[in-house]
Amino acid sequence: MKYYIKKWCKTSSAADIRSIIDWSYYKQRLSSAIQKIVTIPAAMQKVANPVPRVVHPDWLHKKVREKEDKFQQRKLSDIFKTLNKDGILKTNDGTVASTCLNEKSVQDIEDFHNRKGSSTDRPRPIVRHYEGNTERHSDNGIHQINGHQKEISKESEHQDPSSMQQQAMPVQDIDRNLDYQGWLELKKRKWKETLERKKRQRLGNSKNSHLTNGPFKLVDDGMGNKAKGKSGVTSYFKRRDVALTRSYWQNGQFLAWVVVDGIMLKIPIHVPRVFYLNSKGSITEEFPGRRVNKTLPHGRQNHNLIEVIIDEVQFIAESKKLAALLADPEIEGLYETKVPLGFSTILQIGCVCKVDKTAKKRNAQDSWSLSELHMKTTAECSYLEQSVSFFYLYHSMCEGRAIYAGYFPALRTIHVVVVNPFQNRDLTASFLDKQFRDACQALDIESPLLQNGATFKVDYVGHVKDAEKILLRSINEHRHDDHGPTIAVTESPEMHLLRSSIQALDDFPCVSIPSNARDSQYPAVGWQQVAARIGMQRCAASSRWLNERISLARYAHVPVGNFELDWLMFTADIFFSRALRDQQQVLWISENGVPDLGGTNDEDTCFADEVHQPVLIYPGAYRKVSVELKIHHLAVNALLKSNQVNEIEGGALLSFDEDAGSGLNASDKKYAYDDTTSCASAFRVLKQLIQRCLADAVTSGNIYADALLQHLYRWLCSPKSKLHDPALHRMLHKVMQKVFALLLAELRKLGASIIFANFSKVIIDTGKYDISAARAYSDSLVKTLQNRDLFEWIELEPVQFWHSLLYMDQYNYGGIPVEADEIISSWSIAEHLPHAIQNHFITIVSEFIQIPWAYVQKEAANRSSSTDGDFCTPSITISAAEMFESCVVAYLREKIGSHFSDKLLKVIRDMVIHMKGINRSEDNDHRSPESSQPLSGAEGDFTLEFIKHVCAVLALDQTVQHDVLVMRKNLLRYVRVKEFAPEAEFRGACQSFTLPNVICSYCNDCRDLDLSRDSSLLVPNQEWHCRIPRCGQPYDRQVMENALLQIVRQRERLYHMQDLICLRCNQVKAAHLSEQCNCAGSYRCREDESEFRSKMQIFLKVADNQKFQLLKECTSWILQVR
């Protein structure tokens, strides 16, 4: 061994093994093992240390001294230890003895003064436990303790008939050898009875938990179950609702917070599962139900539609049988099996309900069936008209630091807890008072804290658990001082963690406010004051937010605590679902964005093309005033005017008559509709719903109805909607495209030139040099369009005016806005150039915009000064206007030949001289990651790219395009490149992809993101966030990646299932086995491989840039990148 040690250490002398390895570590490990196995057991058995080299630990000496102590003094905590599981054991002689609690050794606390006898020698009193409700008194149990600790408990009066019958069955012993099946059935009944009894015992603890904010109760029922006694003395005291919230719950059971006569109660509601079975044959008795006549989604034929109502437990137990039914050819489908029970409950009872008169009278804590509750409108019964008390909890955190703020208006107190692992303390009560007053003044809120005086408390802790304990005490103080109905309003980035850690929130109905991610982005210095200022702003705005949410609950008829974070989409789902049910239509609700069409997926949806937003771009230089008009309510107008649009198209747009579509026979519906118009009945219901919302918004000025109208298209196209239907989306999109085309045609008729247009905005050239004339023209244009019946509900809002605009596309433009004195330049193509020459590009393009505009302003000033003596406004004839425009063009041509040519030659000369030694690898680190214009290896690459980009932008002006091309020819000659050489050709922006309908989770803003040309999205390792200035919420990365993944898989599926077209006649291949077309032409794919790979490369770049691992794996596999 020494030989190999010398060889490994490369030394001539013998090395000590202890100097090579960590000898002290292994010695300590061996000593610990010896202590555990040898020395510690020996010491506990009063044996001397058998291994003296291993010293006893200090705690062992203490244990040995306690064991050898002759006094054997007991600890107080030992009295309250829990009983052993095997507390009652059988002794050797067959008698039952208690190993933990002996009657002779442990006396009752009442008998400590009596040494002669114990209370167990005389009759024990009967203990009865009564409920707190005065309407009913029932014994929970009679507990009598005899000689051997026997326990007798009285079962609940409310038991199922099946369990009563099982208890009434005679129990007799059956010989297992003679009748094994009978013995097994008897055992199974006993086991089932035991499980049901234990479950009733657990659920029985929740009988007294219906009143909120109640005092603690004394738990002493003598049941001896395991749930009690696990925490010693603390097990005697439990809050009323802990047993209810922690107990076992069955599926289909919900808790409802109900306010009755000013008292808030928590009652259980039993919600059954309702689904529909459409059978082609006769219905068996396996699923009893009643036959109904309802319209199925997507025009499915109604054969024998049966409504089945069963318990949720039974529905889950019969899930395999239901799945087998879908494979039965006689069963067409199962509908509404994916409707959440909570959502169905809200649809049926809303926020105000009334108990059925025929319902059996019972206590509030007993379970109520959903069929016993009937919805009442808010006009018949007011909802939370009386002021409801509330308290607000705010939470934000960042890297181990956090701030909790508790706002209690009833106590006029704001309690702030700072979690700071360091020692600095920057907050004071006066600072919080000032920030709260400033926030109330900014929001124009009259808080009761400002009128009657407020108390501000600040506590510093080192851990989150300590802060939660402080807030728990504050909530308990509020509970004792305010006994009326109270709502807990919470705002936290981790809402579930906040509710689970502060268990007092289980005693209140909770309403959640969406949290802004910027609240949890603390600065490195002064973070306490910044976070506290935001917290005070949130506290000041909490009362107004709650009042608005209660008003929304009255309008939507939804309980105030059941709104989802995106309340607009949730409210639209509620309204549309109720409208469909009113029209006797079956819902297609699902949670994954794919409509539930009877349990089978719609094949047409899987192979449907993407819905692309139309974009019209007319590049050019617009030297007259241009105006950007924002389009509002295009989807609403298209929906309401769909009949007129269909008439204009001669009935070919929607392929059905809305009024006569409902008169088709059931057998013909399946063949009368295509994949888009199959949802005609749902389209009519949606149209009626929007008409009602429009009436509410116009007549009563309801802000919530107006918000629903504004977000109509976002709701229809979002997969997060429970009623999302791609066919309905495509149907409305088709009508919107036609209305959009008619709108642009009408703008052209009125003399406007389209620069850019999509569903959201349109930029037009007014043809006016004077800004006042342009404003008057735009106002007249808007009013004229609103007077057209076809565009009655479209609203055009002028957003921005431009004196001059040089426009390439929505990401490459420059102009002089009317409101600002500086030139706005937004050129994403400049990102492809090195940083050293980007400033030259911006300067030259800006001068190309400003110089003609300055000349026009100078000529207009001269013309107005020459007519100062006239009282009438000078008028310009058509010939004079044409002459003036020709003068402007001539002036610009002269500037291109002199000013711009000389300046560009000077800049290019400097580039050639100073940029020869630039390392290409250093510059590539600063270029855009999405650049699709790789530079070649020639020495003048940078200069050549600069010439190509500048000349491409200057050539946008068609009036001077020839002069720009002559200048380009001269500049290319300077860098020794021919005019028509391939390397001199300018390649436009790289192939782009636009992710449609990206929704902010905080402000619900909806916009389309160009992932290839938007410079703000191309920064590596930077989160995508909302563009609204007051929001800035980062987009959900998982939602974005899932949306991109769905598009990638859809495009891959369409690529493999695409049609073949003829190279000669471009006809689609009809015969499956033919190798050539009838015209003798060969076939090719509609989308070739190179085009498909280029599209996939875009997604791969996005995945690399944003670290979307799953998207990267999917696209890499498609592209076969190893």
Residue 851 to residue 596: CA distance in whole angstroms = 62
Decide: residue 469, CB within 10 A, 0-12 exposed, 13-18 middle, 19+ buried: middle
DSSP letters spanning 602-646: -HHHHTPPP-PPP-EE--EEE-S-EEEEEEESHHHHHHHTHHHHH
pLDDT, tens only, 649-690: 877 666 555 444 444 444 444 444 465 667 889 999 999 999
User: What are the strands, taking DSSP E only, across 633-768?
Assistant: 753-757, 761-765
Residue 929 to residue 988: CA distance in whole angstroms = 16
As beta bridge partners, residue 415 has: 406, 457
873 pLDDT more than 50: no
Contact assessment for residue 968 and residue 979, using Cβ atoms and an 8 Å cutoff: yes
Contact assessment for residue 1061 and residue 1083, using Cβ atoms and an 8 Å cutoff: yes
Residue 582 to residue 685: CA distance in whole angstroms = 9
- pLDDT band at residue 807 under the 50/70/90 scheme: very high
pLDDT score at 263:
86
- For residue 216, the 8-state DSSP code is P
Residue 781 to residue 754: CA distance in whole angstroms = 13
pLDDT score at 154:
37
pLDDT, tens only, 461-514: 989 999 999 999 999 888 888 778 899 999 999 888 888 888 889 889 999 998
- What is the overall mean pLDDT for the chain? 79
381 pLDDT more than 90: no
pLDDT, tens only, 917-971: 554 444 444 454 444 444 443 444 778 888 999 999 999 999 999 999 999 999 9
Return the higher-pLDDT residue of 721 and 70.
Answer: 721
Residue in 946, 838, 854, 837 with CA at minimum distance from that of residue 895: 854
As beta bridge partners, residue 628 has: 763, 800
Residue in 711, 726, 685, 493 with CA at minimum distance from that of residue 592: 726
Residue 637 to residue 48: CA distance in whole angstroms = 96
316 pLDDT more than 80: yes
Collapsing DSSP states into helix, strand and coil, what is residue 976? coil
Can you tell me which residue has the tokens 């050709």?
985
Return the higher-pLDDT residue of 756 and 225.
Answer: 756
In this prediction the pTM is 0.72
Can you tell me which residue has the tokens 């997507």?
298
Quick one: tokens of 38? 């040898």
Q: Which residues contact 184 (CB under 8 A, 6 or more apart)?
A: none
Of all residues in the chain, the percent with pLDDT exceeding 70 is 78
pLDDT score at 608:
58
- For residue 156, the 8-state DSSP code is P
pLDDT, tens only, 757-767: 999 899 999 98
Residue 624 to residue 957: CA distance in whole angstroms = 13
- pLDDT band at residue 246 under the 50/70/90 scheme: very low
pLDDT score at 649:
81
Contact assessment for residue 50 and residue 39, using Cβ atoms and an 8 Å cutoff: yes
Average pLDDT over residues 58-79: 76
pLDDT, tens only, 1067-1100: 888 887 888 888 888 988 888 888 888 888 888 8
pLDDT score at 181:
82
Specify the length of the chain in residues: 1122
Return the higher-pLDDT residue of 149 and 581.
Answer: 581
As beta bridge partners, residue 419 has: 402, 461
pLDDT score at 83:
55
- For residue 295, the 8-state DSSP code is B
Decide: residue 427, CB within 10 A, 0-12 exposed, 13-18 middle, 19+ buried: buried
Residue in 197, 221, 202, 236 with CA at minimum distance from that of residue 140: 221
1007 pLDDT more than 90: no
pLDDT score at 286:
62
pLDDT score at 109:
46
Average pLDDT over residues 96-105: 40
pLDDT score at 157:
39
User: What are the strands, taking DSSP E only, across 855-955?
Assistant: none
725 pLDDT more than 70: yes
pLDDT score at 847:
92
Q: At what angle do helices 527-556 and 703-710 cross, to 10 degrees?
A: 100
Residue in 681, 668, 795 with CA at minimum distance from that of residue 731: 681
Contact assessment for residue 614 and residue 758, using Cβ atoms and an 8 Å cutoff: yes
pLDDT score at 107:
46
Q: Which residues contact 954 (CB under 8 A, 6 or more apart)?
A: 845, 848, 896, 900, 960, 964, 967
pLDDT, tens only, 557-576: 999 999 998 899 999 999 99
Q: In one letter, which amino acid is 391?
A: F
Average pLDDT over residues 217-241: 40
Residue in 203, 128, 131 with CA at minimum distance from that of residue 160: 203
Quick one: tokens of 1061? 């077209």
Pairing of strands 263-270, 368-369: parallel
Q: For 941-955, b where at least 16 C-beta lie within 10 A, e where not — what string?
A: bbbbbbbbbbbbbbb
Residue in 147, 133, 394, 391 with CA at minimum distance from that of residue 267: 133
pLDDT, tens only, 881-924: 778 888 888 989 998 888 989 999 998 888 887 765 554 444 44
581 pLDDT more than 90: yes
Pairing of strands 1083-1085, 290-291: unpaired
Decide: residue 587, CB within 10 A, 0-12 exposed, 13-18 middle, 19+ buried: buried
The dihedral sign for the CA sequence 806, 812, 815, 818: positive
pLDDT score at 273:
93
pLDDT score at 165:
43
Residue 161 to residue 142: CA distance in whole angstroms = 23
Average pLDDT over residues 634-640: 94
Of all residues in the chain, the percent with pLDDT exceeding 90 is 30
* Side-chain half-sphere exposure of 702, counting CA atoms within 13 A: 17
Q: In the structure, how many helices (H) and strands (E) does the chain have? A: 35, 31
Average pLDDT over residues 1046-1053: 88
Contact assessment for residue 242 and residue 286, using Cβ atoms and an 8 Å cutoff: no
Residue 458 to residue 449: CA distance in whole angstroms = 17
Return the higher-pLDDT residue of 84 and 7.
Answer: 7
pLDDT score at 364:
66
pLDDT score at 1121:
52
Average pLDDT over residues 873-880: 63
Average pLDDT over residues 76-102: 48
pLDDT score at 261:
83
Quick one: tokens of 991? 């192939």
Can you tell me which residue has the tokens 């993101």?
1009
